[in-house]
Structure 1
Amino acid sequence: FGTNGNHSIQLKQVLKKPLITSFYGFDAAIADSTTYLELFNTADKITVLSNDMKNDMLALGCPEENIIIHHLGVDLDKFSYTQRYVNPNEKAIFLCVGRFVEKKGITYAIKAFSRLLIEYKNVELRIIGDGRMKKEIEDLIFRLKLQKNVILLGSYTHTGIIDEMHRSHIFLLPSITAENGDKEGTPTVLMEAQATGMPVLSTYHAGIPEVVINGKTGYLVEEKNIDSLYEKMKYLVEQPKIWNKLGKNGRNHIKENYNISNQVEKLEYIYKDVIK
């Protein structure tokens, strides 16, 4: 993380070894123009997750020639492709996975879902996660009378999350920029959901538009826009025939651009190139 990079500057100078620092999201979002100035002038390379994060680094004063975009990756062997369909009288299941913190936008997901439920009774929102906003989220569900259709599942193991993904139809993560400036990098759960063949609904936020291709692997809406979020949720419920097209495109997109085997090789090349 960028914060650890700051602590490694003196170590680089003592050991006379190259320093590569990788940024992942919050470490870039919390910074101002002075936070990493010494690091940018000392590190041999800075890796970032997306073009959006690259722009953040440039705005903070990092020389462009020192920045390398390097994607996270997922192990596709752990995520089998599953075709999505819903039988008559079965519920269409939305799945949201994330810590209960502001930037995950979970309250916006719940509010948009409450509007959807007015028109479609055969839908369900399942949420995996926990965190400091739990009571606020519970209170919102109670206030909107959604207890029967919004299910808080708590914390799950990674295997449990994958199993839940395979049981669900549409993945939902309406991420936002928090009031303190905190934001996502490129959420791994969006890669994992697409790896299983699930269509995704998310936001134009941070590096997400590079992970989710709007109109091809899922849909994106503006941050905090409950109306647009509801409209896309409604569209996906009404058009189950497009789920598998979006899902296949998503699986291929992750295979081509976020495959962990390829990303490890690329990272090895970055390190070897710096130390040669």
Structure 2
Amino acid sequence: MTPANKTVLVYRNELLPISETFIKEQILALKDWRAVLVGRRLLHQLTLDDLDVRVVDPQRTIADRLFWKVGKLVGIMPPAAARALRSEGARLVHAHFATDALDAWPIARALGLPLLVTLHGYDVNTHREWWEAGNGGARMRLYPRRLLRLAIQPQVRFLAVSEALRQRAIEFGIPANKIDVSHIGIDTSRFVPGGLPMAQRPPRVLFVGRLVEKKGCRYLIDAMAKVQREIPTAELVVVGDGPLRQELNTLAWTSGVRATFRGALSSTEVKRELDGSRIFCLPSITASNGDAEGFGLVLLEAQASGVPVVTSALGGATEGIREGVTGFSFAEKNVEALARILIGLLNDDNILAQMAECGAAYVATEFDVVRCTTRLELQYDAICCGPAL
């Protein structure tokens, strides 16, 4: 079989949020498979000019909108949209996030194709009761039930971005024999060590992430209050935006923590911040609704950039670092342990320099996006060309 007739439809409802550059990079890293990115709406946040994009638009008439809305519930799609996608000659539909898989399933059924679903985190971490109570919106009340019905379909398989997330998916009710682990990886040609040598950098701790409960930034602020009492020159830089920004800003001020809130930054600007920091910290927690970090690709970006990491992220803390070699993990919400690790690292330039060197090599070997995507293509081959599911 040649690459020309190995086509996958990569599905996401909205194309594409700026936080999902990893989907674009995974598509660009495909070698043996041709990808067509399919969705229902263009967001105009990420440049998609270098991708093959198809927008399945149900908004042209009232009848289209009604057909699509009803069709999603019963697993069918408008015939015109099915004909347009059938012309691509695809062998597989690959949906990102289980929430979107419910909309990708009618496409897979209409085209008679297997469906592969990558689970990223909130889609199976969030408690079923939270969805069923309508907290995700009225239309998502039945999401857990519909997902589990989808999971038993013989044409459907799942990928989890970490082993920890795979275990969460099993607890959610997805059959264990239908879930494999597939790390996403990062572009290690973009994230490389740079900036001043570690010993010449200010004692700066960097956080990058959405300012929401599960990212745990408040625990880092609490820890930095202890760090700055021991190391008065230590500083915290927070990159990201979200509903908790003002609350966190106030917490830092009332705690006397010197913290700079940069807001949301581009990937290039984040790299610049990494090049000026001694430590990257992702103090993720399990949120009150059960949501938790699936992996935390920013951990890989930091290590690839030569910045040691400290994290409590689900998946990332056990699978995304080499403990004591490229970074350290700690139990979520354990402010004392976090402060102790940060103080120890900021006081030891030698261990920081050693970790910086090991981190870049570790990510290049284990998590380069090309290597990870090559393994993904083997999974594509197994689904389409191997034994029947």
TM-score interval w.r.t. the shorter chain?
Answer: over 0.9
Aligned equivalent of 2:185, options 58, 73, 84: 73
Counterpart secondary structure, 1:262: helix
Among 98, 101, 104, the alignment partner of 2:212 is 101
Which of the numbers 339, 354, 365 marks the counterpart of 1:245? 354
- Checking the alignment, whether the CA contact within 8 Å between 1:172 and 1:201 is kept in structure 2 is yes
Any idea what SS the aligned residue of 2:329 has? strand
> Post-superposition shift, 1:61?
2.6
CA contact (8 A) 2:295 2:314 kept: no
TM-score, structure 1 length as denominator? 0.93
Percent identical: 29
Task: Determine the C-alpha separation between the residues in 2 that align with 1:61 and 1:225.
Answer: 30
Aligned length: 272
Specify the SS of the correspondent of 2:323: coil
Three-state SS of the structure 2 residue aligned to 1:8 is helix
Q: Is the 8 A contact 2:327 2:355 kept in 1?
A: yes
Displacement of 1:205: 2.6
Equivalent-residue separation in structure 1 for 2:175 and 2:351 (angstroms): 43
Matches within 5 A, 1:50-61: 50-61=162-173
What amino acid maps onto 1:14 in structure 2? A
Distance 2:338 2:380 in 1: 41
Determine which of 240, 259, 262 is the counterpart of 1:129: 240
2:199 matched to 1:86? Answer: yes
Amino acid at match of 2:251: L
Show the counterpart of 1:173. 282
Q: CA deviation at 1:273?
A: 1.9
Match of 1:11 in 2: 107
In structure 2, how many angstroms separate the alpha carbons of the residues matched to 1:65 and 1:140? 45
Task: Report matched runs for 1:122-161 at 5 Å.
Answer: 122-146=233-257, 149-161=258-270
- Taking the aligned partners of 2:188 and 2:110, their CA distance within structure 1 comes to 40
Structure 1 letter corresponding to 2:117: T
User: What SS does the corresponding residue of 2:164 show, helix, strand or coil?
Assistant: helix
Paired residue for 2:147, among 36, 47, 53?
36
The one of 304, 328, 331 equivalent to 1:195 is 304
Question: What residue in structure 2 maps to residue 25 of structure 1?
Answer: 121
Cα deviations by residue, 1:107-163 (Å, 9 ceiling, x for unpaired)? 1101100111112111111111111001111111110123xx211111111100001
* In structure 1, distance between residues paired with 2:229 and 2:364: 38
Q: CA RMSD in A?
A: 1.6
Equivalent pair of 1:84/1:198 in contact (CA under 8 Å): no
Spell out the pairing of 1:198-217 with structure 2 (5 A cutoff): 198-203=307-312, 205-217=314-326
Q: Sort the Cα spacing of 1:80 and 1:13 in 2 relative to 1 into closer, same or farther, 3 A.
A: closer
Pick aligned residue for 1:218 from 327, 331, 339: 327
Amino acid of the residue matched to residue 101 of structure 2? G
In the alignment, residue 253 of structure 2 is paired with which amino acid? F
Could you tell me which runs of 5 or more consecutive residues in structure 2 were left unpaired when the two chains were aligned.
Answer: 1-96, 129-143
Contact 1:94 1:172 (C-alpha < 8 Å) held by counterparts? yes
AA matched with 1:112: A
Report SS of the residue matched to 2:287: coil
Deviations 1:86-109 (A, max 9, x none): 34xx63111110110011110110
Unaligned runs of 5+ in 1: none
Query: Which stretch of the first structure deviates more once superposed, 4-13 or 245-254?
Result: 4-13
Shift of 1:11: 3.0
Aligned to 1:235: 344
Q: CA deviation at 1:63?
A: 2.5
CA contact (8 A) 1:214 1:220 kept: yes
Give 1:31 deviation, angstroms: 5.0
* Counterpart residue type for residue 61 of structure 1: G
**Among 364, 378, 383, the residue aligned to 1:269:** 378
Q: Is the 8 A contact 2:202 2:276 kept in 1?
A: no
Q: Relative contact order (C-alpha < 8 Å, sep 6+): which is higher?
A: 1
Q: How far has the Cα of 1:212 moved from its partner? A: 1.7
